[in-house]
Amino acid sequence: MDSCPLLSEMSREISGVNVPVFIIGDSAFRFSKQLMKPYPFSVNQNNGEKVFNYALSKTRRVVENAFGHLKARFRRIGKGIDNSVRNANSIIKACCVLHNFLNDNNDTLNAKWLRALEELETRRQNPCDISYASDDPIIGDMIRTALCTYFEIEAIVHLFL
């Protein structure tokens, strides 16, 4: 992700910290500057951490639902793409474009396919823990803290609107 100029251009400064584009994950994943995960549960968790965890969880649900619908409509994606790796990005992009076109034209997903996908997902194992030697968890913590502060301020502002 560090080598992609488009992602570098999309980074933003929040609370004095350069926040890059990152992947969102749940507590099963390894925390890093490239992968944000929730703060660990604690009975003494402060309000900012609770707000951050809620915002991250809410975003993950939206993304997971979108991928679920894409995999239900194009069942080949959910089973793995057996084409050349160099074609995988083009195949996924084409599926996304077609999916959006069909949604815009009020096409519906097959309910039977959705149920089959849900059944398949319940049997899927969690990914293995992958670590990157070049990743600095301290930078990841700075990014998460900046986002935590930002989300907490936004939550307070919305209370008064």
Residue indicated by tokens 């930078």: 139
| pTM score | 0.65
Could you tell me what percent of the chain has a pLDDT over 90?
A: 8
For Cα atoms 33, 25, 3, give the angle at the middle one, nearest 5 degrees.
40
* Predicted pLDDT at 28: 85
Q: For the chain, how many structural domains are there in total?
A: 1
Tell me the average pLDDT of the chain.
80
- pLDDT at 133 (0 to 100): 41
Structural domain boundaries, residue 103: 5-159
pLDDT-based confidence at 134, cuts 50/70/90? Answer: very low
- Residue ranges of the alpha helices (H) in the chain? 5-9, 47-73, 75-79, 85-104, 111-123, 137-159
Name the residue with higher pLDDT: 47 or 129. Answer: 47
Whether the Cβ atoms of residue 151 and residue 59 lie closer than 8 Å to each other: no
pLDDT tens-place string over residues 1-54 = 556 676 778 888 988 898 888 888 888 888 888 888 999 888 888 988 999 999
